[in-house]
Amino acid sequence: MEYENILVTFEGPLALITINRPNKLNALNKDTIKELHKALSGLEKDKKVNVIIITGSGEKAFVAGADIAEFANFSVKQGTKLAAKGQELLFDFIENLSKPVIAAINGFALGGGLELAMACHFRVASENAKMGLPEVSLGVIPGYGGTQRLPLLVGKGRAMEMIMTAGMIDAPRALDYGLVNYVVPQEELLALCTQLANKISNNSPVAIRYAIKAINDCFNSSENGYDTEIKGFGKCFGTADFKEGTNAFLEKRKARFPGE
């Protein structure tokens, strides 16, 4: 399927989504959010895909924020709807996707761009990456989950400072904060993400789906993460993946998970 603002390519069980608006530093607008949702929905259903990587086109930006011109004249009602719809279609959607999503941060990840990266299951950054939530400098607050996910990743005090100063942090500091898992030269970014994705792909897709749900529920005040873990652990025993995984271990061979 062809899209106007994104590119989707495949390498074995891996899918790479590239946000392709280089003239806008890959800024998110409503159409791009809709396209990302459509692509991710399709990839989640595609049994040939185990892991998804999201990155930005070019060498300057992952996503340098939302497209401000699109909402500069919005009313209170329109602004509220923008945030609610965006969270539903993309940010919460990615966080709860049953397949792992890795953010390959290849430059600026600001505002909605950092919020997109934080919605992914984990992040890898290039050495030139810069991250921040500058919304308060525009008279608004992060609206795509930034005030919620950033404290969970870096702690309340650091999140308060980053949001209230509207400043950027570089890749080494993001690594120190725990905002990203790795920092590598830009030319090695996708290679490392692919390596990590392939390691994930060697494991049971069903077990990974249950693990994502259990980890997310650890941070969901309306859920008991321990109960989710117990239920998920038990359900695994009824899967073909569990039978294959245990048989392969006992037979001293590599497992070939059917994904069910």
Residue 173 one-letter amino acid: R
Determine the pLDDT at residue 260.
85
State the catalytic residues.
115, 135
Model pTM score = 0.96
Query: Which pLDDT band, with edges at 50, 70 and 90, does 245 fall under?
Result: very high
Q: Which two tokens stand for residue 227?
A: 């109960």
Contacts of 166 (CB under 8 A, 6+ apart): 132, 133, 134, 135, 136, 137
Domain boundaries, the chain: 6-201, 205-250
Residue 74 scores a pLDDT above 90: yes
Residue 51 to residue 12: CA distance in whole angstroms? 10
Percent of the chain with pLDDT over 90: 95
Question: Could you tell me if residue 259 is left (phi over 0), alpha (psi between -120 and 50 degrees) or otherwise beta?
Answer: left
Determine the pLDDT at residue 2.
86
Is pLDDT larger for residue 19 or for residue 72? 19
Query: Which pLDDT band, with edges at 50, 70 and 90, does 84 fall under?
Result: very high
**Domain 6-201 class in CATH:** alpha beta
CA atoms within 13 A on the CB side of 71: 23
Q: Residue 142 in contact with residue 118, Cβ under 8 Å?
A: no
Residue 183 scores a pLDDT above 80: yes
